[in-house]
Structure 1
Amino acid sequence: MREALIVWGGWSGHEPQECAEVIKTMLEEDDFKVYVEQGTEALADPSIHDLSLIVPIVTMSKIEKEEVKNLAAAIESGVGIAGYHGGAGDAFRESVDYQFIIGGQWVAHPGNIIDYTVNITRPDDPLMHGISDFAYHSEQYYMHVDPSNEVLATTTFTGDHAFWINGVVMPVVWKRMYGKGRVFYSSLGHIAKEFDVPEMRTIFRRGASWAAR
């Protein structure tokens, strides 16, 4: 049986505990044995090297050097990591080592909660099978992203809330490798209720299963 660790904490506005429960249920439905820990201390434990998957849900906050060093070593050796929105894409702002793993970092969400479109750029990829472009109501993340990411979905900014980014096409969903470990990220999922959106939920569920060894 594959084993997964969810670590949650950080800014409460992203409902990390509630989202951890949603993802725990999702992974258990996919036959994972799931461990849930509050805070980042578990990331320093050598036992994470035996996991199949790690899911961070820790917006902002800080990570200790020994924690990120152990996390990076575990993923480089083959443990997968799957994250979403600020829980993974705006976690540990001071840790460039962590950002190197995830492949991006949040920098803005112009207009805050708005309506926008998610465009599927790789409909041939199994993670996107059967999913078409869809409307979304949430924060539209503007991110600094790694050019080595394999982008699966994007969004286009209108410039209504920041005129200088009109027409910018921004990655929303990507996958990548970090050593032998698979990395999956989706910028969707501001609060737990967004997991009720079928496309969002399906994309994350497939991404997490893909990332897990």
Structure 2
Amino acid sequence: MPENNLTPRRSALMVWGGWDGHEPRLTTERFASLLEQQGFAVEIHNDLGVYLDRDRLAEQSLIVNCFTMGQLDKTHTENLLAAVRGGAGFGGWHGGAGDAFRANTDYQFMVGGQWVAHPGNIVDYTVRIAAPDDPVVSGLADFSMRSEQYYMHFDPSNEVLATTRFDGPYVREHEPQVTGVIMPVAWKRHWGKGRVFYSSLGHVNADFEVLEARELMLRGLLWAAG
């Protein structure tokens, strides 16, 4: 059905910054374009100041954080978490969401996990679909990546959608204690009335040239937005 003036557009507020090695501007712009194609009104910010505007956050269908490391002070944190608890969706990828604000455990509690290592740095690994009946991953097959394979601390209450196994040559030689570990790659969760989606894929923008990685992330953002 075509949009009309009585049908409000969904809104997405996207924040990028932090460590530039993760190409936060390029990855944010990629998904901003994809969300716009899905009918979203997208607003992009290159600083954390927008998290001071509690009312603006609360109005969003979706908040996307792509800000590796950095710091988020108490007021920023309270506003962001309150918006999600109140019903705003939240989504993000790789270090932009899973390694943002390392000292902020309140933020990590909301996201459902935190990066701790990527043994071997850039390695070949397989992403396996763990919940094939879930609409976010339905129809997607297992796929290969050559990138950072994230080892994470994660919340057992997460609904895991995709996983990876640590069993490559570097792990077997240098980190044998984690050989065979099955690690979540993508999950969804609820935070109050809000929906949260995270994927550890997307070290650099080119990683999203892998169709399945891009589709998984986009579907997750759409799910988070409700």
When the two structures are superposed, what TM-score results if normalisation uses the length of structure 2?
0.93
Partner of 1:38: 46
Q: Partner of 2:216 in structure 1?
A: 203
Question: Which residue is equivalent to 1:77?
Answer: 86
Q: 1:118-137, aligned counterparts within 5 Å?
A: 118-137=127-146
Partner residue in 1 for 2:175: 162
Distance in structure 1 (CA, Å) of the matches to 2:208 and 2:43: 20
Task: Give the Å deviation of 1:34.
Answer: 0.2
Q: 2:95 aligns with which of 63, 70, 86?
A: 86
| Shift, 1:23, TM fit | 1.1
Q: 1:142 aligns with which of 151, 160, 174?
A: 151
Give runs of aligned pairs for residues 1-80 of structure 1, distance below 5 A: 1-46=9-54, 47-80=56-89
Equivalent-residue separation in structure 2 for 1:136 and 1:15 (angstroms) = 18
Task: Return the letter of the residue paired with 1:7.
Answer: V
In 2, the alpha carbon distance for the partners of 1:17 and 1:202 equals 19
Residue in structure 2 matching 1:183, options 190, 196, 221: 196
Larger radius of gyration: 2
Corresponding pairs, count: 213
* Distance across 2 between alignment mates of 1:148 and 1:41: 31
Q: Which SS does the other structure have where 1:67 is aligned?
A: helix
Large movers: runs of 4+ above 3 Å: none
RMSD of aligned residue pairs (Cα, Å): 0.7
CA distance in 2, matches of 1:96, 1:121: 27
Whole-Å Cα distance in 2 between the matches of residues 32 and 11 of structure 1? 27
CA distance, structure 2, for counterparts of residue 133 and residue 19 of structure 1: 23
1:106 matched residue in structure 2 = 115
Deviation at 1:195, TM superposition (A): 1.3
Deviations 1:144-171 (A, max 9, x none): 0000000011001013341110100000
Distance (whole Å) between structure 1 residues aligned to residue 91 and residue 189 of structure 2: 11
Deviation at 1:44, TM superposition (A): 1.4
Q: Distance in 2 between matches of 1:30 and 1:82?
A: 16
SS in structure 1 of the partner of residue 30 of structure 2: helix
SS in 1 for 2:203: coil
Match of 2:124 in 1: 115
Which one-letter code corresponds to 1:139 in the other structure?
E
| Identical pairs, percent | 54
